[in-house]
Chains A and B, each alone.
Chain A
């Protein structure tokens, strides 16, 4: 079978699964309170976006996620560069970071609430705190793992400190950094949703939780569909950036 035929067949599977879901809902094998029919979800999605504030919630979640992630990414790469390129700094700091890493970021939410209250700043702080880890640890690794031969090339060419960072260290750490950014984006979406649920901030987290309290399963599913869509788009965006920036990697002897 050609690649195109496989693609068509696999999309048909998606359609069939949705049809199966519709069938189960229609036969009420699972109560509609829990499982809305696909048509009702579609209607809830349309209604929410066109006549209710689902669109604003979507924008709220995306902006929470991107705000925290961007702050974490900038800080993570900068700190990672500082720590990663100095042996001494690594010896002092890395063990502490390794110890803190398994700490669930959501555990600091109550602490952040105690400090900042139920505010958007609290959410920003929590999301940034949670998504800095993957970026920071990846950047430290990337900057530390620079090929020793390239360090000698830097010395022979007499590059300035700034040239070393911009021309050698940063590009050499880029694959690691991108992997960290991807993970950080996933974490930031999760934390954005949790913060919205707890603090009642405008966002899909709040939307789905309120819908659950009211037993509006179609609204819950509409929110979840949008959250999935954010995840898909975010992942795809990172993949595009990755394949552009790492073109030199995928190419092989031709």
Chain B
């Protein structure tokens, strides 16, 4: 584990009313690390991400970001929401949506255009700068949301099942684009998914949550070489071994027992 973690869950409890969703959740994410969180539906993955992002306050315990407790959302932590169509401004073009983040950051007007162009190029949307979200496919909208998040120059990207609503082909290309972005920006990534293969394919580490209340059930390091490849990585014996382990864990925790 990296000596100085960027994000640290320290014995976090979170309750909605008297429904305990997270119980004494503790784990850390190192700088530049890609950590994927998996677990059965309703186990608290989204809640954990929102606590880490400062959107909800923990009931007990704390999340530390770069050593300081998180009390509110911060601009250097960007969130990629799963429901991209709701997270974009429908009345702004692609360029305008990226611009929103720059306006929030106080980037001077004259320097915005250049940044917007660079960011749209990075996610392959340069040709669509003047299109509205309603004129884009789901994959393009999610790329646009990622571009807006990158405009925040985030130290950490929090992604909540970002590719869950996309078709298989689009999902794979976005996975590879995301890995390339992570490599180029060295951003730390907290990635929630329910797709076990996606977790292994992307992650340096995979954390499996168990439900009622949400807590760590399994932690696996993924020692697969980078850059990863959609065909060869997924065929390697280590990938299959991890997949098997993770599958057994999820299967057991869905039944409610310990693995």
Give me the interface of A with B, judged by CB distance under 8 Å: 147, 149-150, 152-153, 155-159, 163, 167-168, 171-172, 174, 246-249, 251-254
Contacts and interface: CB of A to CB of B under 8 A. Distances in A.
Contact of B100 (A157, A174, A249): A157
Contact of B89 (A150, A155, A156, A254): A150
A248 B87 contact: no
B91 A174 contact: yes
A252 B89 contact: no
A155 B53 CA distance: 10
B86 A253 contact: no
Given A167-B103, A248-B134, A149 B87 contact: yes
B132 interface: yes
Contacts of B252: none
Interface residues of B, number: 29
A159 B89 contact: no
B72 interface: yes
A149 B81 contact: yes
Contacts of B104: 157-159, 163
Given A156-B53, A253-B135, A168 B73 contact: no
B73 A253 contact: no
A105 B90 CA distance: 36
B101 interface: yes
Contact of B135 (A147, A152, A155, A252): A252
Given A149-B81, A156-B75, 10 more contacts: A149-B83, A150-B87, A150-B89, A153-B100, A156-B77, A167-B89, A171-B92, A247-B132, A251-B135, A253-B134
A153 B158 CA distance: 13
Contacts of A159: 104
Interface string B171-209: 000000000000000000000000000000000000000
B136 interface: yes
Given A158-B75, A158-B104, A251 B134 contact: yes
A214 B55 CA distance: 71
Contacts of A174: 91
Contacts of A158: 73-75, 104
A156 B135 contact: no
Contacts of A152: 55, 73, 79, 81, 87
Contact of A171 (B89, B101, B131): B89
B73 A155 contact: yes
Nearest to B132: A248
Nearest to B85: A149
- Residue among A152, A153, A249 with the highest chain B CB neighbour number at 10 A: A153
B134 A156 contact: no
A157 B73 CA distance: 8
A172 B92 CA distance: 11
Contact of B86 (A149, A156, A254): A149
Contacts of B137: 253
Given A149-B81, A157-B101, A167-B103, A252 B73 contact: no
